[in-house]
Structure 1
Amino acid sequence: MGNVTEDHTFAVDRLPRAGETRLARSHRTELGGKGLNQALILARADIATRLVAPIGRDAPGRAARAMVAAEIPGATLIETDAPTDRSIITVAEGGENSILSTAAAARSMTPAAAVAALADLSPGDTVLLQGNLTRPTTRSVLELARARRAATVANPSPIEWDWTPLWPLLDLVFVNAPELAHLSGARDTTGGCRALLDLGLRELVVTLGADGALAASREGTVSVSAIAVEPVDTAGAGDTFCGAYLAATLRGRSPEAALGIAASAAALTVGRPGTHGAFPDRTELSACFGDQVASS
Structure 2
Amino acid sequence: MADSLLCIGNLTIDDLVVDGATTTALGGDALFAALAARRELTDVRMLAPVGTDLPATLLQAVVDRGIRVEPSRPRTGRTVRNRVTYAPDGSRTWDLLDGEAAFDAMSVYPADVGPDALTASAVLVSAMSLGAQLALGPWLRERTDATVLLDLQEDYVLGHEDELLALLATCDVFLPSEVEAVRLAATTDLEAAARRFLDAGPDVVVVKTAERGCLVATAAGVVTVPTDAVEPVDSTGAGDAFCGAFAAATVRGADPVEAARAGAAAARVAIGAHGVAGLLADTEPTRVGATTTGAVR
What residue in structure 2 maps to residue 191 of structure 1?
Answer: 192
Mapped to 2, the partners of 1:98 and 1:255 lie a distance apart of 34
| Partner secondary structure for residue 176 of structure 2 | strand
Contact 2:138 2:167 (8 Å CA) reproduced: no
Aligned with residue 155 of structure 1, among 133, 148, 151: 151
2:48 matched to 1:48? no
2:92 matched to 1:97? yes
What residue in structure 1 maps to residue 267 of structure 2?
Answer: 266
Mapped to 2, the partners of 1:224 and 1:144 lie a distance apart of 32
Contact 2:38 2:44 (8 Å CA) reproduced: yes
Instruction: Sort the Cα spacing of 1:63 and 1:5 in 2 relative to 1 into closer, same or farther, 3 A.
Output: farther
1:152 Cα deviation after fit:
0.9
What residue in structure 1 maps to residue 26 of structure 2?
Answer: 31
Contact 1:215 1:223 (8 Å CA) reproduced: yes
Mapped to 2, the partners of 1:268 and 1:120 lie a distance apart of 28
Contact 2:173 2:203 (8 Å CA) reproduced: yes
Deviation string, structure 1 residues 5-60 (Cα, Å, up to 9, x no partner)? 0112233xxxxxxxxxxxx44432210011222122223433412212211111x3
Aligned length in residues: 267
Aligned with residue 121 of structure 1, among 115, 118, 123: 118
2:221 matched to 1:220? yes
What residue in structure 1 maps to residue 78 of structure 2?
Answer: 83
| Partner secondary structure for residue 82 of structure 2 | strand
What residue in structure 1 maps to residue 14 of structure 2?
Answer: 7
Contact 1:6 1:31 (8 Å CA) reproduced: yes
Deviation string, structure 1 residues 215-243 (Cα, Å, up to 9, x no partner)? 11222112222213122111111121111
- The letter of the residue matching 2:269 is L
Matches within 5 A, 1:105-144: 105-108=102-105, 111-115=109-113, 117-118=114-115, 121-122=118-119, 125-135=121-131, 137-144=132-139
Return 5+ residue gaps in structure 1 as ranges.
12-23, 284-296
- What TM-score comes out, normalization by structure 1 length? 0.79
What residue in structure 1 maps to residue 278 of structure 2?
Answer: 278
Mapped to 1, the partners of 2:14 and 2:193 lie a distance apart of 32
Contact 2:9 2:126 (8 Å CA) reproduced: yes
What residue in structure 2 maps to residue 21 of structure 1?
Answer: none
Cα RMSD between the aligned structures? 2.6
Greater relative contact order: 1 or 2 (C-alpha under 8 angstroms, separation 6 or more)?
Answer: 2
Mapped to 2, the partners of 1:78 and 1:97 lie a distance apart of 32
- The letter of the residue matching 2:145 is R
What residue in structure 1 maps to residue 290 of structure 2?
Answer: none
Contact 1:2 1:129 (8 Å CA) reproduced: yes
Mapped to 1, the partners of 2:51 and 2:265 lie a distance apart of 34
Mapped to 1, the partners of 2:126 and 2:12 lie a distance apart of 13
- The letter of the residue matching 2:43 is A
Instruction: Sort the Cα spacing of 1:41 and 1:77 in 2 relative to 1 into closer, same or farther, 3 A.
Output: farther
- The letter of the residue matching 1:66 is Q
Deviation string, structure 1 residues 60-90 (Cα, Å, up to 9, x no partner)? 3544543443332352254312210012223
Mapped to 1, the partners of 2:210 and 2:110 lie a distance apart of 38
Contact 1:41 1:243 (8 Å CA) reproduced: yes
- The letter of the residue matching 2:260 is L
- The letter of the residue matching 1:165 is A
Contact 2:48 2:108 (8 Å CA) reproduced: no
- The letter of the residue matching 2:262 is I
| Partner secondary structure for residue 54 of structure 1 | coil
- The letter of the residue matching 1:107 is D
Mapped to 2, the partners of 1:106 and 1:86 lie a distance apart of 9
Instruction: Sort the Cα spacing of 1:234 and 1:268 in 2 relative to 1 into closer, same or farther, 3 A.
Output: same
- The letter of the residue matching 2:125 is L
Return 5+ residue gaps in structure 2 as ranges.
1-7, 285-297
Question: Which one is further off, 171-180 or 71-80?
Answer: 71-80
- What TM-score comes out, normalization by structure 2 length? 0.79
